[in-house]
Amino acid sequence: MAAPEFVPLRPNDKPRAYSSPPRRGDEWRPVRPGELVTSGGQPDADAGRMGAPGPDQGYLLNLVPLLRDELHLTDGEALADVEAGGVAVALKRASLFGRAPIAHDLRVAYTVWGYLDAAPDAELVAARRARFEGVHLTAHHYPELRAVVDCVPAETLRMTPVEVAAAHAGDWQALLSL
């Protein structure tokens, strides 16, 4: 680096050149608990049930109140459980497209499970009641929440909201893997 002009220079000083830091003899080893590079590589996202990462996922929590009035819950279903399950499915849909979540993701999630249907099929209500129970308590029921998401195949999530609504009206079982 050059010195400012006001710094006096002595004619006997030699200019310094770059020198590398001393070489370390030991090789790097993954010994800390968080380093996942030993004996199996990185974990498999599907086998490890690690969710569906995507950009700006927290924005979906701002969209949840917009559809709250359109939900049709039956006896024994808690709004918090329905919203938690719907958010998880919507986040999976958004991550499939590699983008932040939008309201249509949440609409598709609710439509698939019949929460936007005023008169859902009794079999669907029984299936969703059993699967959604307690999933808003993700600290204790994360596997159950992941099971709700895993019931909705990627082919269903790639459909448009209009296609999902039409398919749900025709045969709701074709949209889910129960």
- State pLDDT tens for residues 137-168: 888 888 899 999 999 999 999 999 999 999 99
pLDDT for 37: 56
Number of domains in the chain: 1
Taking the C-alpha atoms of residue 109 and residue 169, their distance in angstroms, rounded to an integer, is 15
| Residues 103-126 pLDDT 10s | 999 999 999 999 999 999 999 999
In a domain, 38, yes or no: no
In a domain, 67, yes or no: yes
In a domain, 130, yes or no: yes
User: Which residues constitute the domain of residue 124?
Assistant: 57-175
* pTM > 0.85: no
In a domain, 159, yes or no: yes
In a domain, 76, yes or no: yes
In a domain, 42, yes or no: no
Are the C-beta atoms of 130 and 85 separated by less than 8 Å? no
Cα dihedral 77, 120, 49, 160 in deg (nearest 10): -130
**Collapsing DSSP states into helix, strand and coil, what is residue 165?**
helix
In a domain, 41, yes or no: no
In a domain, 68, yes or no: yes
Ordered alpha helix ranges (H), the chain: 60-67, 79-96, 103-112, 122-132, 138-150, 154-157, 161-171
**Collapsing DSSP states into helix, strand and coil, what is residue 150?**
helix
Are the C-beta atoms of 129 and 76 separated by less than 8 Å? yes
